[in-house]
Amino acid sequence: GYFALVMGTGIVSIGLRMAGAEVAALLLLALAVLAAAVLTVLYLARWARHRERMRSDARNPETAFGYFTIVAACSVLAVGLQQEGYGTVSAVLLGIGAAIWIVLGYVLPWQVLMARDGEPILARTNGSWFVWSVASQSLAVGLSGLEPASPAFAALLGLLTVLSWSVGTILYVGIAVLVILRIVHFGITPRQFEPTYWVAMGALAIAVVAGAGNYAMEPVPMVDAARGLIGGTVVLFWCFALWQYPLLFGAGLWRHLIHRVPLRYVPSLWSMVFPLGMFAVASLRLGRVEHLPLVEGIGVAGLVIAATAWTAVAAGLGTTLVRGVRDA
């Protein structure tokens, strides 16, 4: 799930560009590209040296869906590169992300649900499952920003965009039911409330951005057929994401202040940075498209929070790397 680092860095970059901070946005985009390159090498090395561990992770309900961060990272980078005018590279990244999404979308659920390891699955359902929905919505965001090579491809592009948005939305509902059932039946301890639960908000926020992108696409049959439905859900999703915001912050205070769970750097913190950045981008996008100054103002405030969180988590990563090198 470490590609959440790329997701978090990339989405904060996109938000900063929307806010006019182009130099900072370009710097973060470059860091996201660098992180993606390093992580790709590390993932390939891990596959070569620890293949059985990776297969075990793919069967584990607590870790398997973290692999979808690869898809979302490809899409977030693609959108960032679209904004910088690198349309061809963006299209290639989206193609890679889509191919991985298709494979993982069928293989990982089968591994988790069918290749049982003898332990109950529902008790190990967690916030990382929402990354499956995020990956699908991220493709919708990227595809909606592509310029079709010819009018003949516009209808296909519209179909794929609406398909990705729809699958991501339905997956969110199903995963939310499972996570709620897990909490109701088995409860959740402060240590179990990991940063990945923030993805529940991020998945709604990215559905807003994807829906707005779909709604703004050129008229083609599939987009026209879904335009009314998508337009009606965007505000609903944003409102529910806003409602979750203080809920998740409160849960964090419950975890770290009341129950004294140490707040130290862990890779899953990037799964908190991405939803914060995604909510900011969704608010900025919705506020500008629908001419809602209050919503746009919430987006600006959210972007400040997201950038602050990114800085803190990045500092934690830097400190961890320095300590690792020193201890080695």
Model confidence pLDDT, tens digit, residues 197-223: 999 999 999 999 998 888 878 888 888
Query: Is the model more confident about 308 or about 119?
Result: 308
Nearest CA-CA partner of 278 in 208, 206, 213:
206
pLDDT at 118 over 80: no
Mean pLDDT calculated for residue range 121-127: 89
Encoding tokens for residue 19?
A: 């806010």
pLDDT at 283 over 70: yes
Q: Where are the alpha helices (DSSP H) in the chain?
A: 4-18, 22-49, 51-59, 69-83, 87-113, 130-144, 151-186, 199-215, 221-253, 270-289, 293-327
Nearest CA-CA partner of 95 in 110, 69, 77, 83:
77
Mean pLDDT calculated for residue range 75-92: 91
Encoding tokens for residue 236?
A: 């609903």
- d(Cα 328, Cα 326) in Å, to the nearest integer? 5
- d(Cα 57, Cα 43) in Å, to the nearest integer? 13
Task: Tell me the pLDDT band of 115, cut-offs 50, 70 and 90.
Answer: low
Side-chain-side CA neighbours of residue 223 (13 Å): 21
- d(Cα 167, Cα 132) in Å, to the nearest integer? 10
Mean pLDDT calculated for residue range 147-155: 74
Predicted confidence at residue 116, as pLDDT, reads 63
